[in-house]
Structures are given as structure tokens and as C-alpha cells.
Structure 1
Amino acid sequence: MQVFKVSMKILKRNYPSILIYVGIFLGLSLLFASQSNQQEDEYTSFDTVKTNVAIFQEEDTPLVRGFIENLKETSNIVEVEDQEDIISDALYFRMVTYVIRIPEGFTDRFMKGEEVKLIKQTIPDNITNTYTELSIDTYFNTARSYLSVQKDITQEVLVEKTDNALSKKTPVEVKSYGMPEGDSYSKFYFNYLSYSMVSILVLGTSIIMLVWKDLDLFRRTEVSPLTRRSINFQKYLALGVFTLFTWAVLSFAFFLINRSAVLDRKMILHLLNSLVFAFTAMGMSFLVGTFLKSRNSISAVSNVIALGPSFISGVFVPQEFLGENVLALAKVTPTYWYVTANNIISSLSGLSGDPLSTVYQYMIIVGAFGLFFFAAASFAARKQRL
């Protein structure tokens, strides 16, 4: 087992730098997973957002005053000088996003039931103005409803009735189904684990492969009584030990940080899925190490190999927010199938049926990628020897 021992000695000599990378990537995974978990909590909550609105009124009536007071509940009233260039600058620099001008005679025409409109200036295609627009329409439509029933109603009474009607609020509660409480952290952590796993394995594997490419060491190995099959087996064995160690550290860190985690059937599926991905990442790392010729390029290649699939496969950006073309491209990477399986595992309400079989199918696809990487690495290594 000479080749295995030498490979482990190489890792032992370089363990300080490897541990630094393990710490960095582990810290990033924990940070990203925590932030993503908090963002998902924010997505399942509802809070109204006030927009900055400027109002210019050419008349002062009870209806106008009531409208402005009601608008203050959903908007921030910003004072802007009534000059065209100043208003344009305020909109351009986002000091305000909505400008309302109430023309003279608006109230009289409204009380007579005539069709009247406010003069508005907005930032084009600004989604934040939707709630302001809704508030304006709701107020005047409610007032118009009372006015249509009671023609001789005074402005004061109309404003009072409208305010009473609009003061009744409906509580909004957003719930998510299919994912137990606290399970979203598991999903995000194991998704980000793919980025850490690939980065660390490419780093460690490349170091071993570069040492074995040394001309003197290569020649001594070639003239030794060891067969080529035995040499490759011992290299794979050393990389397998390194891979299992990396997977164990990253998995143990999850239970260390998330003390409420339990080793239930769903967690076992997460661990099994990550173990299959670790095997594929080892094959990918072996393939990358076969082509590398300089230690200076290890960090750059490691970042590209890890970051690229992470961005398009749903690690850093949820798959729900990615376009069809991006996801179609991501399907040629094992990270996409790994992340998709993780998402399904997190949303499982039971451990039987079609969703579970789909998870196993995706695991098989990820494992097939690993076999392909190992076959391609062996083929490339044979070509290089020739």
C-alpha cells in the first residue's frame, strides 16, 4: 500500500491549508444557509411597504383632507416644491415615486357624481406604486358607493363613513405546507454543502495528483513491481478516505450547529443524497486533477468548478427564480439533480410514494455522473501516458 501511504502523507503535509479551506467553506455554508432560512421566513410573512408620495392640492376641502389622512396610512407624504424641474428631479432620484395633483373643482365634481381623475406622475414600471394606486382607488370607490346611495350626504359625513369602512382590516397570514418547521434550514445547508464539497475535494485531490505527476516520482512508480491497476486502486482509496472525511466533517457540523436536528428518516435521506454527491464530487475532482499541471491554478479552477454549477443549479439562487433556459443548462451538471433531490426531501410529508422514488432516481443520476467522471479521468490519464 505504498501509493496509498504516500497519498495520505501528501494530505497530511498540506492539511493546514486544507483545513483553512474547510473552515472558510464551512463558514460560508453556515452563513448562507442561515441567511436563506431567514429570507424564507420573510417570504412567508406579510408587511405593507410605504412609498414616498408628493401631493399638490389646489383646493382645501373636507374630502381632500380626509383622502390625504387616509393615504398617510399607506404612504409617506414628502414635501416637494411645486416646480416642474424639481418634481422631475425628485422622481429621477427616487425621493418620491408617486406625485398626485388634486385640481381645483375636483371635490364639487366628485360630489355631483361626475367622472373626475387625479393628475398623477409616477416612475414607469415601478412595482412599489401598485399599493399606492390601490389605496387611492379603494378610497374614492368606497366614497362613491356611499355617494350613490345618499345623494345629499355632506362631505364631513362622507369622509367619516369612508374612514369607518376602510378602518376594518383583514389580518393576513401566510402559511407554507408540506415542510415541517425547522426543516428549511436542512434544505439550505445541504444545498450549500455541494459548493463546499466540490471546492474542498478539488483542492485536496489536485494536490495529490500534482505530486504524482512529478517526473522522478512517476518514473520510480513505473519501474516498481506495482501494477497500474494497483496504483490506481490505491490512489482511489486515498481519495475515498479524504472524501469520506470531508463528508463526515461537513455533516457533523450540521448537527453541531443545529442542535435541534434529529437523525430521522428524512435526515438520513439528506445524508445519503450528500454521500452520493460526495462520490460524484470525488470523480469530478479526479478528472480535474488529471488535467491540472500547476499548483497556482488549483484555487482558480476550484472556484470555477464549484461556483459555476452552484449559480445555475439552485444553490445560491432558488430554482423557482431561474429561467427555463438556465435550468436546461443546469441539468447537464450533477449539482442540479442533487439540489432538486434535496428540495423534494425537505418537502416530503411521508416516506413513500412517487416523490420518494423520484428522489432515488435523482440519486442514481448523480451517481451516474460520478461513474462518468471516473471513466473520463481514466481515459484521459491513459492518453497522457501514451
Structure 2
Amino acid sequence: MQVFKAFFKTVKRQLSSLFIYFGIFLALTIFLTNNGPSQLETTYKPTKVKIAVIDRDNTILSKSLYKYIDDNHTIVNIIDDKDTMADELFYQNVEYIVIINQGFQDKIKAGDSENVIESVKVPQSVSGEFVDNQINQYLKTLNIYVSSGYSVEDAAKSALDTSAISAQISLHKVSDTSNVRSSTYYFFAYIPYILICILTVGLGSILITFRKYDLNSRIQCSALSITKKNISLTLSSLLFSFSCWALFMVLAAIMYNSDFFSIKGLLYVCNSIVFLLVAMSIVYFISYFVESSSTLNMASNVLGLGLSFLGGIFVPLEYMSSGVVAFAKFLPTYWYVKANEIIDTYTGTSTQINTFLSYLGIEFIFALAIFSAALAASKVKKH
């Protein structure tokens, strides 16, 4: 009982860190629930930029350029003044300014389209490059008609007509929904990350505390036997770990009531329990190699993020290269994700059940292997 009380007194010191990880998980869950499974129906809309046009030539061809810009973008009227232009750009009243130089029409008729206009824009802006390409394309079209012998009026009209031609764009709605995941899937997908982090910070720090030389020596000098101490410590660790896991299961039951209390929900729970054993084994193993809380916090981030990114939790497996996927098979998180994918598409076939059980078996083997390595590490430490 004394070990039990000391265990949970130590837990109280880690409550702030535990609540932080719980908050992170809750925020991720809410975000992915609202955005992950939703299918957004989008339509194509051309981008319009706020443009100011200063026409210093005031001819038929310069007016055709003005008309082209007006048809494709939003014209903003400003004064032809250097300070005014700078102010309008600074206050983002306009994104782009076109200055049609005097002699614009004469140069186009002579076949010279260089330096016929000037542009003022925000440096390296995407909208600026977009408008540059459009205007240059229109000037080339205008040049072609003029050089082909068209009159100024006909060239202006033909260039506008040609520029108005556009392809009809429609978005194809994919009927295949095989890659669409349920909200419950996204909830349980992040369980490994949060369990590893919470158990490393919470359980790991407690195990390190009980293995400190002074405290361990005092316990050995007391009337409490080593066997009773180890049993109490083991039971306390199991109670703490399963309490953390149960907290997330309660959250899942509240958020996904109908899905949670179903066959799929039961399979998700089974998968998460087996991975809880994996997470406990990992924490038990690293507790023999870490001696301070600061190092333990670092280890929790490295382990949690590393196993999550490489195991297919944060980055879907289908987006990974074949080499990374081959390496991921040596991680327990990979098999957890594969089991989750089976659950999400579960239809009740015996093949799916057998595959799911085999994935659970592999996770359990990982837990036993890591726990055995931890026992070996404990013997080395004792010697």
C-alpha cells in the first residue's frame, strides 16, 4: 500500500504535462473529425486581381488592352501620380498597376512590343506573375493581328474576341470512396502517439523515481520485501496505464456513440488495448536508459513523433515510398495502422477477421519482444 500511495503522489506532479497531451489529442480529434472525412464539392472560379490602369496613350489599341484587363480583372481607378501609386499598393487597395506608355499604338503597329507598358506590383507576388503572363499573351495576340495586315480597329476587336475564347471546365466527382475514412478511424488513428507520449512522461518518470539509488536503497532496508514492492509497482503501473486508456475510450464513447457501440467500435477498442501493451513495454524499456525528467520529455517527443511519422499515423502509408514502407514494417505502429484500416472497411468476412487477428498478433509479439529486452536491460543494470 505504501508503494501504491507513493506511486500516485508522484503522478500528481505530472498532471500538468498529462493534461497538455490530452488537450493536444482532443484538438487533433476535433480538427480531423471536421475536416478528415468530409468531401468538399468545389467549382472552378477564375482569379480576379485588383488592378489600376494608367492609359497615357489613349488610342484604340491602348483602350483594347484596358478592355481586356477590365473583362478579366477588377479595375480600380487611381490618380496618375507616383506617390499615389505607392500608397495604393502599400494599403493593398490595388495589387497591380499597369501603365500604358505614350506611343503604345505606334510601337505595336511597327511590330515592337518592347517597353510599351510598365507594371508596378508587389515583388515576387503570385498575382503579379499571373497578370504579367496574361498581359504578355494579349500583347502577342494583338501583335499577330496587326502584323497580319489587320486595321487597328479590326486588330483590337479580333484580339479581344480571341482572348475571350476559353475551354469549358468541369470537375469530375470521384465515385470511389475507398480512401474516405470515418470519424472514428481518425480518432483511433492518433491513439498510439498520445499513449506513447502520456505513458513516457507519466509512467516513465515514476519508474525512474523508484529506481533512484537512494530511494531504492531505503525501500530495500524497510520491512517491505522486493517481491511485494515489484507487485505493488506493477499493479500501480497497470492501473495508471489503463486509466489513461479508459479516459480516451470514454471520450470516444461520448463523441462517436453509435460507431463506438458497434462491432467496428469493439475491434477499435481491442486494437488500442493491444497497442497499450506495446506502449507500456516501450516505456518500461527506455526507463532503464533515461535518468532525468528533461531527458524523458525529449524521449517522449522523439519516440511519439518518430513512430507516428514512420509508422503511417501522421503520413498515410500510400504516400510513402516503398523503401520507407519496408522499414515501417519493423515498427509496431505500422501494424496498428494496418489493423485500423481493416476495421474501417470491415464487412464481416472471415478473411478480414483473420487478417485483423494476425495484425494484433504481430503487435503483441512486439510488446513481448520489447518487454523481454527491458528485462535483459534490468539484469545488465543490476550487474
Q: TM-score, normalised by structure 2?
A: 0.67
Q: Distance in 2 between matches of 1:289 and 1:250?
A: 24
**Counterparts of residues 3-82 of structure 1 (less than 5 Å):** 5-40=1-36, 41=38, 45=42, 48=45, 61=62, 63-72=64-73
Partner of 2:370: 373
Partner of 1:216: 217
Q: Distance in 2 between matches of 1:359 and 1:81?
A: 72
After superposition, the C-alpha distances for 1:263-315 in whole angstroms (9 at most, x for unaligned) are 23333332222222111001001112223333454333333332333344444
Report if the CA contact (8 A) 2:44-2:169 is conserved: no
Q: What amino acid is aligned across from residue 68 of structure 2 in structure 1?
A: F
Report if the CA contact (8 A) 1:98-1:121 is conserved: yes
Partner of 1:178: 177
Partner of 1:206: 204
Report if the CA contact (8 A) 1:199-1:303 is conserved: yes
Q: Counterpart of 1:293 in 2: which secondary structure?
A: coil
Query: What is the deviation of 1:382?
Result: 1.2
Report if the CA contact (8 A) 1:18-1:204 is conserved: yes
Q: What amino acid is aligned across from residue 35 of structure 1 in structure 2?
A: F
Report if the CA contact (8 A) 2:48-2:72 is conserved: no
Deviates most, 313-322 or 235-244: 313-322
| 1:290 and 2:291 matched | no
| Pair 264,215 (structure 1): closer, same or farther in 2 beyond 3 Å | closer
After superposition, the C-alpha distances for 1:220-252 in whole angstroms (9 at most, x for unaligned) are 4899384xxx86566444433322221111121
Q: What amino acid is aligned across from residue 25 of structure 1 in structure 2?
A: Y
After superposition, the C-alpha distances for 1:126-148 in whole angstroms (9 at most, x for unaligned) are 9878976897799899999x99x
Partner of 2:360: 363
Q: TM-score, normalised by structure 1?
A: 0.67
Q: What amino acid is aligned across from residue 196 of structure 1 in structure 2?
A: I
Return 5+ residue gaps in structure 1 as ranges.
Answer: none
Report if the CA contact (8 A) 1:37-1:185 is conserved: yes
Question: Percent of aligned pairs with the same residue?
Answer: 23
Q: What amino acid is aligned across from residue 69 of structure 2 in structure 1?
A: I
Alignment RMSD = 5.4
Report if the CA contact (8 A) 1:56-1:100 is conserved: yes
Answer with 1 or 2: which has the greater Rg: 2
Partner of 1:269: 267
Partner of 2:379: 382
Deviates most, 127-136 or 352-361: 127-136
| 1:303 and 2:304 matched | no
Q: Distance in 1 between matches of 2:104 and 2:335?
A: 61
Q: What amino acid is aligned across from residue 362 of structure 2 in structure 1?
A: I
Q: Distance in 2 between matches of 1:47 and 1:359?
A: 42
Deviates most, 129-138 or 230-239: 129-138
Return 5+ residue gaps in structure 2 as ranges.
Answer: none
Query: What is the deviation of 1:31?
Result: 0.9
| 1:191 and 2:194 matched | no
